[in-house]
Amino acid sequence: MEGQVEKIKQSALAEIKDISDLQTLESIKVKYLGKKGELTAILKTMGTLPAEERPKVGNIVNSAKQEITEKLEELEEKLKKEELAKKLESEKIDVTLPSDKIKKGSKHPLTRIIEEIEDLFTSMGYDVVSGPELETDEFCYERLNLPKGHPARDMQDSFYITPEYVLRTQTSAVQARAMIANTEKTPIRIIVPGKTYRREDDATHSHQFNQVEGLVIDEKGKISFADLKGTLEIFMKHMLGDDTKLRFRPSYFPFTEPSYEVDVSCFKCKGSGCNLCKQTGWIELLGSGMVHPNVLEMNGYDPEKYSGFAFGTGLDRLAMFKYGITDIRLLYENDVRFLQQFDRMDK
């Protein structure tokens, strides 16, 4: 009996050695260990043995069974690993093939400039406000101390709809709206970015363009030209770089008195003279001044009690400088090859 078990075991171990796949392994398992397997068959004959021999034979059979099982399990694990590796190998892909992508989105350079300015000024406590683009003559001009027939209206050739309605030529139109809307006549600190329109179209002017307007009003004595100067220095250095210099030139705008035009040191040549600045080293960029007492008065602020400053600048040129855009028309043509370049986070 003992010899028979040993023989079966040796035969099983020999067969196990030759197994190379899981299927064979399963059939070997059944052949030796299954319900109808060879070792099971021996156990079934135990009944014919004398009672005192049974435990001994049982032990022999079980230990053979265990040895075979162990070998089988060991092999099974190995084979499974191999099979998995094979499977994964067969699934290998080319990781360098293109990914599934949603088409690129982008943010227009002018909105990027506007957002940047909004972020700067809101951080200084300014509110961003807006107003209608189809404006009344009253708000676009008259309430800004520019009565009908005023020669300064020539500076801004307007698109009139009727004698009383006009596409706003300047975001300054919102100045009067903000002052009137503030019924409590409390201090004002606002900027107004937005679209503006003038009746001109050439290589350097677009009939539709963008401006930002700033207005600060507070109790008389609190806001001065020096404050305006300080504010515009922060603004321009933020937009154009810390080495930017500003030059204030006395000028004339009907809605401010005193009035100043502001030049910045040329952002291309840094002041040494180039084509962009027509060899002057300076680029005219902003209009500014102290709010004219007539404007305060017309819009409900007592000029004896309040004073303030206002400034305005075109954004198209700022965007062109910032992103190295050489032709203003690119901003409005919306060629997808242009737009798609503005597709990422901007430092």
Partner 1 sequence: MILSTNFLKDYLELDEDIDINELAEKMTSIGNEYDSAKKFIDATNLIIGKVTDCKDHPDSDHLHVCRVDIGSKVIQIVCGAPNVRKGLKVIVALDGAKLPEKEIKKSIIRGEESNGMICSIAELGLDNKFLTEADKEGIHELEEDAPIGGDPVKYLGWDDNVIDFELTTNRGDLLSILGMAYEVGTLYGKKVKQINLEHISYDKNGKAVDNKEKIKKANKEAKSEGNEKLNGELELIKSEDAPKLDFRLDINTENCSLFLARKVLNVQIAESPKEIKEKLMASGIRPINNVVDISNYVMLETGQPLHFYDADKLHNMIEVKMAKENEKLTTLDGQERTLTTDDIVISDGKRAIGLAGVMGGFDTEITESTKNVIIETAIFDNVKVRKTSNKILRSEASNRFEKGLDPNRTYMAMERACHLLEKYAYGKVLDGISKYDKTNKESKKIDITVKNINEVLGTVIAKKDILDVFTKLGFEYEIKKDDEIITVIVPTRRIDISIKEDLIEEVGRIYGVDNIPGRNMILPVKKGTYDRTSREIRNKMFNLGLNETLTYVLVNEEESKMFTNKDKESIKILSPLTEEKSVLRQSVTTALYKTYNYNKSRSIDNVSLFELGKSFYKEDTDKKNKAIDSDNYVEEYKLACLMTGEYFTGLQTKNVDFYTIKGVTEEVLDYLGYNGRYSFVVDSSLKEDLHPGKSAMISVNNDKVGFIGRVNPTICKEEVYVMELNLDKLLAKQVGKMKYKEYSKFQSVKKDLAVVVDNKVEAQELQKVIKSNGGKLLLNSKIFDLYTGKGIPEGKKSIAFSVEIGANDRTLTDDEIVAVMTKITEGLEKKFNAELRS
* Cβ-contact 161, 281 below 8 angstroms: no
Indicate whether 260 belongs to the interface with partner 1 (CB under 8 A). Answer: yes
Among residues 13, 152, 274, 325, the one that binds partner 1 under rule CB under 8 A: 152
Among residues 122, 204, 272, 279, the one that binds partner 1 under rule CB under 8 A: 122
- Scanning residues 193 to 212, which ones bind partner 1 (CB under 8 A)? 195, 197, 199-201, 207-208
Distance, CA of 173 to CA of 210 (rounded, Å): 13
Interacting residues of 138 by C-beta distance below 8 A, sequence separation 6+: 164
- Using alpha carbons only, give the angle 240, 113, 190 rounded to the nearest 5 degrees: 95
Minimum distance of partner 1 from residue 267's CB (angstroms):
19
Distance, CA of 222 to CA of 113 (rounded, Å): 30
- Scanning residues 29 to 58, which ones bind partner 1 (CB under 8 A)? none
Indicate whether 304 belongs to the interface with partner 1 (CB under 8 A). Answer: no
Chain-centroid distance of CA 95 in Å reads 27
How many other C-beta atoms can be found within 10 angstroms of the C-beta atom of residue 297? 14
Distance, CA of 334 to CA of 332 (rounded, Å): 5
Indicate whether 257 belongs to the interface with partner 1 (CB under 8 A). Answer: yes
Is the Cβ of residue 5 or residue 236 nearer to partner 1 in the bound state? 236
- Scanning residues 78 to 107, which ones bind partner 1 (CB under 8 A)? 97-107
Q: Which residues pair with 326 in a beta bridge?
A: none
Indicate whether 121 belongs to the interface with partner 1 (CB under 8 A). Answer: yes
Which among 58, 66, 55 is positioned nearest to 42, based on CA atoms? Answer: 58
Q: How many residues does the chain have?
A: 347
Indicate whether 160 belongs to the interface with partner 1 (CB under 8 A). Answer: yes
Indicate whether 230 belongs to the interface with partner 1 (CB under 8 A). Answer: yes
Indicate whether 300 belongs to the interface with partner 1 (CB under 8 A). Answer: no
Binding-site size for partner 1 (CB under 8 A) equals 93
* Cβ-contact 255, 172 below 8 angstroms: yes
Q: Give the binding range for partner 1 (CB under 8 A) out of 19-27, 72-80, 83-91, 118-126.
A: 118-126
Indicate whether 272 belongs to the interface with partner 1 (CB under 8 A). Answer: no
Minimum distance of partner 1 from residue 128's CB (angstroms):
4
Among residues 48, 90, 96, 162, the one that binds partner 1 under rule CB under 8 A: 162
Distance, CA of 101 to CA of 38 (rounded, Å): 61
